[in-house]
Amino acid sequence: MPHSISILGATGSIGASTLDLIRREPGRWRVVALTANSQAAELARLAREFSAEVAVVADESCLADLRAVLAGSGIEAAGGAEALLEAARRPAAITVAAIVGCAGLAATMAAIEQGGVIALANKEALVSAGEVMKASVMRHGATLLPMDSEHNAIFQCLAGNDIAHVRSITLTASGGPLRTWNAAQLAAATREQALRHPNWDMGAKITIDSATMFNKGLELIEAHHLFPVGLDKLKIVVHPQSVVHSMVEYRDGSTLAQLGPSDMRVPIASCLGWPARMDTPCAPLDLAALGELTFCAPNEELFPATRLCRQAAEAGGAAALVLNAANEVAVAAFLSGQIGFTRIAVMVEKTMSRFGPAAPTSLEAVIALDAEARVHARALLELA
């Protein structure tokens, strides 16, 4: 029998890579639900290609367009926030949670409720609602598989080993497109320059997060939730080649590393095939051609994001939620030309210092606090 799969965020980069793998083994999969925010035409095309049961646009104003393109296909079309949650709750063997940002939180939580395997590519959901999400996973008997390349690498390096024997976990960071720039250059960095990632093909928000190093800081918080070894055992190292995706050091001095090409189809395949393996079209690593792999410590003076994220993880409560909300507001402001590149971290730090609510204990509380944190962050924009 084919495996049933739903993809939340089907038109994004993770969704496209996931569907590329499904396309290569069509008899292996049955597509239940595909969702997008507003790209009705593209979503309809994908729904037809993969014979999805339902296609959902989160932006209800796009529903008429979706229905028009799907007319006569037999594929159900729906729109709006409730329709997105209903699609996420549909039983599927695996649900890929790939909606970018905290916008994907409610849908991810809805998918957890149906108790299947959740391949988590949305780090912001776990950062903002870590304890609430983990409690829901336990309550509903769901399985959470990390799809981020770094966390998937850690997951693979931990396979068959006792986490109690871990001495440290190291997440690698490419350093982004502005890694070698000085303070003056960073202050003047343009949208186009910050989006020019040397290794990875990602969406705009994640690419800017890579340039600021917030992506790696958020991943540190995510790793803190996924792999309970203690914050003091979580490290970050800059690795410009993006070949080593993470490392786990054990008490006997052995360090296991997962290597692979800079292609998200590798960690996606790891989740889709789990607990077995599946083929990908990715070319094998040619270490001789690479020549060398280099590593260095992150520069937290020029890129303070990792420091701020570690502070948020140490503070606990709602600190990580506030940090993530402020970062999303600041990144959007940078992409729209409202603020300069280095103001992103400044805005995040100021929001964290001025707004420190208690830890949320429910999804509703998380959503309410996230909205309030964004109000505080946008108020800082008006003062800028």
Phi, psi of 250 (to 5 degrees): -105, 165
**Tens of pLDDT along the chain (384 residues)?**
789 999 999 999 999 999 999 999 989 999 999 999 999 999 999 999 999 999 999 999 999 999 999 999 999 999 999 999 999 999 999 999 999 888 889 999 999 999 999 999 988 889 999 999 999 999 999 999 999 999 999 999 999 999 999 999 999 999 999 999 999 999 999 999 999 988 777 788 989 999 999 999 999 999 999 999 999 999 999 999 999 999 999 999 999 999 999 999 999 999 999 999 999 999 999 999 999 999 999 999 999 999 999 999 999 999 999 999 999 999 999 999 999 999 999 999 999 998 888 889 999 999 999 999 999 999 998 775
User: Are the C-beta atoms of 281 and 256 separated by less than 8 Å?
Assistant: no
Dump the DSSP string for 39-83: -HHHHHHHHHHHT-SEEEESSGGGHHHHHHHHTTS--EEEESHHH
Report pLDDT for 198.
Answer: 81
pTM above 0.85, yes or no: yes
Give which of 51, 46, 15, 14 is closest to 32, Cα–Cα.
51
d(CA 171, CA 153): 9
Q: How many CB atoms lie within 10 A of CB 359?
A: 16
Find tokens 């070319």 and name the residue: 283
User: How would you class 302 by CB atoms within 10 Å of its CB: exposed for 0-12, middle for 13-18, buried for 19 or more?
Assistant: middle
User: Are the C-beta atoms of 322 and 356 separated by less than 8 Å?
Assistant: yes
Q: Is 281 helix (H, G, I), strand (E, B) or coil?
A: coil
**What domains appear along the chain, each with residue ranges and CATH number?**
3-147 (3.40.50.720), 148-303 (no CATH), 316-384 (1.10.1740.10)
Report pLDDT for 78.
Answer: 98
Give which of 93, 76, 91, 64 is closest to 35, Cα–Cα.
76
Report pLDDT for 356.
Answer: 84
**Strand spans (E) along the chain:** 3-8, 29-36, 54-57, 76-79, 94-97, 117-120, 143-146, 166-173, 234-238, 244-250, 255-259
User: How would you class 281 by CB atoms within 10 Å of its CB: exposed for 0-12, middle for 13-18, buried for 19 or more?
Assistant: exposed
**Strand spans (E) along 142-195:** 143-146, 166-173
Find tokens 């603020």 and name the residue: 339
Phi, psi of 55 (to 5 degrees): -125, 135
